Every structure is written in C-alpha cells, then in structure tokens.
C-alpha cells in the first residue's frame, strides 16, 4: 500500500565525502537533513587496507547524536568476488574482510559490495565464486576483528553489462539465499537492466515483483535516476528528476517497498541543490516527516 503524507517509513540520505574529515561529513549530513549516510572507509580505487581513523570515536558519537541510521559504507570498486582469476578473488576477499572490520570500528552497519563479473566463466560458476567469497570474507573479518564488531555485507545488483552478475531478480535472489546475505538494490542499475520504472503503473508493478522475489532480502536502496535509457545496460547516475525516470514513478515504487532505508548516489552539486534533492525524495516517498516509531 502506498505511503501517505506524514507516514513515510523509508529513511532518506545520501553518499557523502569524507575527504574533509568525518566531522565535516556529519556537518553535511546535518545540513542536508540526512537520516542515513553512506561513506567510503578507504580509497575505492586502490587495494591498500583502510587506515585507522583518529576521529572514529567522535564520528560514532556524532552520528548517534544526529540519529543517523543505518550508517553505510561502499566497498572498493576493485573488488570482484566472482572473478574467474583465483588471485583476483583472493585479493577481493581479503579487501572486503578488511573493510568489514574498518567499517565496524567506525560504527558502520552495512557495507555494499558489487556482485562482480564472471569474466566469461559462466553465470553459475561466477555465482559459486561470489557466494564462496562472501562466506570467506565474513570468516576473515571475524578473525581480523578478534571479537570486535564487524559490519554486514550487502550485495549490489548490477546493470547487466558484459558478464556482470545479479542484474535479474532470480539470480540476485539465488545469491542472497545461498550466501545468507541481503542486498543493496540500485534503482539506476535496475532500470537500465530492464526493470521498468518508466511510469507509475510500471514502477508499482516492478516494486511489487521486487518485494515478492527478494522477500525481505533488501537492506538498502541506492536511489539514482538513470542518464541512459531503459534496458540499455549502460550505467550512469542522474539526480532525481533529471534522468529517464519520471518523478511520480518513485512514489509508486516505494509505496510497494516501505521501511527500507534509501541512500542516493546522485552527482554532487551546490549545497542547496544537494539539500533540495533530499527534501524532494522525502516528499516523493511519503512526506517530509518520518513516521514516529518507523525504522
């Protein structure tokens, strides 16, 4: 049933930079009225392990004071747990494990990792590697953490380009079940992979299908409009209302998918535009006010 005005249940936020320090990240979150935020805990373009943050305790206390939840990290873009290359899989598993630990040290709840590409070895083999990698990464993370808290990994759906995995709901659902994990569902990836959001009617039907097939397996939405056309299998994020998805489609879509937190990864603009995007999405998803007692 669609969310009604002042009955929004989806927490709304976005990816924020940490380059100016974690205090600055929290300040941006407050200014934009984010209810959840996503960050990087290491350089996403390099294999180097995450460095300890001297401002970790202040960050944890600050995000609790703001009421930001969940706190999300995006894993390195280099990680490919599904690779046909054993060495690449090993580096990827270790890197994800290190990020799960580093995220836990910062009070981060969820770490989003791309589903990866099988590289021509076949979808089933790629899925086997992905499931094994997720299992192994959690084992290593628990070992590295020595009893301390680690974050939960979420597998992100792909746009289906080349040999990428998990662009369709059946494959994604199979991986979630076999690895006993949840997913981060990216709306831009879904749209260009062939999940129709081109009208409110289509978006409502797509939302219902996602709810049925993933059956409680979504831990987070990446909310992104699409620069490229429906079914093009070409990634490219756009700000909400500036891409191929009509604004009214989001209301219908999230009406089928309440209670799941939402983090935008749309292009940065001015502070005013970024804050306006947060407000716009809140209104589209059910109203500016979050329902008392909601997620």
Q: What is the pTM of this model?
A: 0.96
| Backbone CA torsion sign across 23, 236, 155, 1 | positive
Given pLDDT bands bounded at 50, 70 and 90, which one contains residue 2?
very low
> Using an 8 Å Cβ cutoff, are 37 and 263 in contact?
yes
**What confidence tens digit (pLDDT) does each residue in 260-272 have?**
999 999 999 999 9
**What confidence tens digit (pLDDT) does each residue in 175-206 have?**
999 999 999 999 999 999 999 999 999 999 99
- Three-class DSSP category at 240: coil
Q: Report, as an integer, the average pLDDT of 45-73.
A: 96
- Three-class DSSP category at 38: strand
For residue 11, pLDDT over 80 is answered with yes
The structural domains of the chain, with segments of one domain joined by +, span 12-284
- Three-class DSSP category at 156: strand
> Using an 8 Å Cβ cutoff, are 151 and 184 in contact?
no
Does 70 sit behind a cis peptide bond, omega within 30 degrees of 0 on the bond before it? Answer: yes
Given pLDDT bands bounded at 50, 70 and 90, which one contains residue 291?
confident
pLDDT at 7: 79
**What confidence tens digit (pLDDT) does each residue in 19-53 have?**
889 999 999 999 999 999 999 999 999 999 999 99
Kindly state which CATH superfamily the domain 12-284 is placed in.
Divalent-metal-dependent TIM barrel enzymes (3.20.20.150)
């Amino acid at each position: 049933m669609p969310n009604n005005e002042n009955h929004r249940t989806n927490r709304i936020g976005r990816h924020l930079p940490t380059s100016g320090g974690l205090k600055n990240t929290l300040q941006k979150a407050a200014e934009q009225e984010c209810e959840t935020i996503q960050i990087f805990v290491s350089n996403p373009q390099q294999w180097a392990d995450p460095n300890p943050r001297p401002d970790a305790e202040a960050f944890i206390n600050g995000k609790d004071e703001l009421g930001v939840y969940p706190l999300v990290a995006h894993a390195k873009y280099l990680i490919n747990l599904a690779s046909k290359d054993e060495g690449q899989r090993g580096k990827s598993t270790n890197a994800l494990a290190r990020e799960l630990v580093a995220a836990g040290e910062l009070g981060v709840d969820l770490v989003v990792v791309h589903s990866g590409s099988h590289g021509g070895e076949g979808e089933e083999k790629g899925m086997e590697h992905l499931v094994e990698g997720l299992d192994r990464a959690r084992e290593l993370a628990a070992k590295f953490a020595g009893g301390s808290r680690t974050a939960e990994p979420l597998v992100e759906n792909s746009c289906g380009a080349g040999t990428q995995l998990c662009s369709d709901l059946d494959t994604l659902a199979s991986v979630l079940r076999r690895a006993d994990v949840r997913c981060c569902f990216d709306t831009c990836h879904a749209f260009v992979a062939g999940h129709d959001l081109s009208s409110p009617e289509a978006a409502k039907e797509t939302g219902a299908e996602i709810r049925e097939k993933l059956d409680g397996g979504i831990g987070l939405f990446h909310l992104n409009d699409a620069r490229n056309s429906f079914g093009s299998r070409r990634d490219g994020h756009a700000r909400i209302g500036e891409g191929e998805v009509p604004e009214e489609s989001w209301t219908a879509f999230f009406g089928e998918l309440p209670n799941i937190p939402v983090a935008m990864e749309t292009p940065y603009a001015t502070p005013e535009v970024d804050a306006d995007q947060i407000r716009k999405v809140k209104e589209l998803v059910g109203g500016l006010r979050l329902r008392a007692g909601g997620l």
